[in-house]
Amino acid sequence: MLSPADSPAPEWLVVPDDVNDLATAVWPASAARDGDGVLTLAGIPATSLAQTYGTPLLVIDEDQVRDRARAFRSAFDRAAGENGTTAQVYYAGKAFLCTSVARWVVDEGLCIDVCTGGELEVALAAGVAPASLGFHGNNKSVAELERAVEVGIGTIIVDSAIEIERLAAIVARTDSVQRVLVRVISGVHAETHEFLATAHEDQKFGFPLAEAEEAVARIREIDGLDFAGLHCHIGSQIFGVAGFRESASRVLELHASLLEGGPVPSLNLGGGFGIAYTRVDDPTPIETLAAEIVSAVAEGCAARGIPMPALSFEPGRAIVGAAGVTLYEVGTTKDVELGSGMVRRYLSVDGGMSDNARPALYGAQFSARLASRSGIGAPQLSRVVGKHCESGDIVVEHEYLPDDVAPGDLLAVPSTGAYCASLASNYNHVPRPPIVAVRDGRSTVIVRGESIADILSRDAGIPSADAERL
């Protein structure tokens, strides 16, 4: 008899009553099964998406992105209004940026946070007003800063003393005035359920609280720099409000002392709001988070007798994460005997760590469902793996899937909207998949897939018309 401790399934993974069900938290609201048991997204069968665009395929539910953007905006608007201030929501483009997504979120009233010259160009190409962009990064080059100032970017989040001097030279040369925030490290680290508070942090972003006052004093000396406040981001995939509260309280201490030297009109508390990747993840609803974080700031301001600043936030994952579903085709299956009669079934799909690096990079968990039909078999402990030449190339480490899954079936992995396409690579010369938006029964390519020819075109050793010209 096996004890639970011997089981190859992790404790959190429950055997589903229905191995074809779609747990609401991890799928876009439009996900359903049609009369034949085929997964549909925005009313389109996964089988027709796969037939039209091939696999792997990243499908983004446009309404889901728009709904989440609206939900964030209205939750923070309400919470800020109730506490006598305003709140702006910046979509953190690093989660997944292309011109279509940029237009959707701006349409829903969000600003955008970019963190490289490349992301800046995507937002500009989408026609986003430069004034509604924020620019992050610990190593923005002079060229990137010049471009940002030249286009009239709304805010630059300053990350180092060297960057202040670079900006001082640029604004002097171009005779411009640039709004800046100063990024500080509050010493609070938050990951999922826990947070860790330290006095000193050994990391690359921002200014330690103790050094920020000097940085702000220097900015205030420079005519072309308009100091607008502090910025702090404590981590990603955070559940609950305790970490945000602790961090806000530490940052407000500095904010209050900076008020003695001049105005400090705003405060940006970053992003990091967690989402569900498996059915056991239970993120706090955004309405609760917004209300509690904003009232924590209001309490902190009241306690110090200072006015409430204008607030901003930078969610990335929580806007696009649950809107993405990756479709793969199963190529091979293999049963691995684990001893004592236990078997793990390996299902190899036609993508992997090149389109979703998160399991390999962070040990991230995902879930999966059979998409091309409903399974008829019993739940079988399975591991979905990619086609890369690496044993850590795992897509879904632990999942119960019907034991009749076979080569040619489609699998769908939900919650792949954030940090999957944006972290994609060409490892093993595997082309990156197309990205398709779905809405109201229609699908549109928003990012073209790569071909092998695209990949070969960068190899300077292959004679081609382009190579001749070089």
User: Quick one: 240 or 315, whose CB is closer to ligand LLP?
Assistant: 315
Q: Please state whether beta strands 324-339 and 410-414 pair in parallel, antiparallel, or not at all (unpaired).
A: antiparallel
Instruction: Report the residue from 140, 233, 432, 439 that binds ligand LLP according to the rule CB under 6 A.
Output: 233
What is d(CA 35, CA 18) in angstroms, rounded to the nearest whole number?
Answer: 16
* H helix runs in 83-208, sequence order: 99-107, 117-125, 142-151, 161-174
Question: Which of these segments, 50-58, 254-262, 268-276, 395-403, binds ligand LLP (CB under 6 A)?
Answer: 268-276
| 273 touches ligand LLP by CB under 6 A | yes
Q: Which of 129, 208, 142 is nearest to 173 (CA)?
A: 142
Stretch that binds ligand LLP, among 120-128, 271-279, 374-382, 462-470 (CB under 6 A): 271-279
Based on the shown chain and the rule CB under 6 A, indicate whether residue 227 belongs to the binding site for ligand LLP. no
Find out whether 355 and 326 touch, Cβ atoms under 8 Å.
Answer: yes
Nearest approach in angstroms of CB 286 to ligand LLP is: 11
Instruction: Confirm or reject binding of residue 73 to ligand LLP (CB under 6 A).
Output: no
Q: Among 55, 236, 365, 443, indicate the residue that binds ligand LLP (CB under 6 A).
A: 236
**Would you count residue 270 as binding ligand LLP (CB under 6 A)?**
yes
> Under the criterion CB under 6 A, does residue 92 sit at the interface with ligand LLP?
yes
Strand 178-185 and strand 207-208: the pairing is parallel
Please name every residue paired with 202 in a beta bridge, in sequence order, or none if there are none.
none
Residue with token string 């792997």: 56
Per CB under 6 A, which region of 1-9, 290-298, 311-319, 452-460 contacts ligand LLP?
311-319
Q: Which of 163, 314, 399, 403 binds ligand LLP (CB under 6 A)?
A: 314
Alpha-carbon separation of residue 207 from 161, 281, 290 (angstroms): 9, 33, 26
Active-site option among 111, 115, 301, 389: 389
Q: Apex CA 221: angle with CA 218 and CA 226, to 5°?
A: 90
d(CA 362, CA 359): 6
Respond yes or no: is residue 111 known to be catalytic. no
Selection from 43, 42, 37 nearest residue 402 by Cα: 37
Q: What is the DSSP letter of 436?
A: E
Smallest distance from ligand LLP to CB 266, Å? 15
Among 42, 69, 95, 276, binds ligand LLP (CB under 6 A): 95
Single residue of 85, 237, 266, 365 touching ligand LLP by CB under 6 A: 237
- Contacts with ligand LLP, 368-407, as mask; x by CB under 6 A: ----------------------------------------
Contact 91, 362 (CB under 8 A): no
Q: Which is nearer to ligand LLP, 283 or 315 (CB)?
A: 315
Taking alpha carbons only, the member of 134, 137, 87, 127 closest to residue 106 is 127
Task: Specify whether the CB–CB gap between 276 and 26 falls below 8 A.
Answer: yes
Residues that bind ligand LLP (CB under 6 A): 92, 94-95, 113, 136, 233, 236-237, 270-273, 314-318, 358, 362, 419
> Annotated catalytic sites, by residue?
389
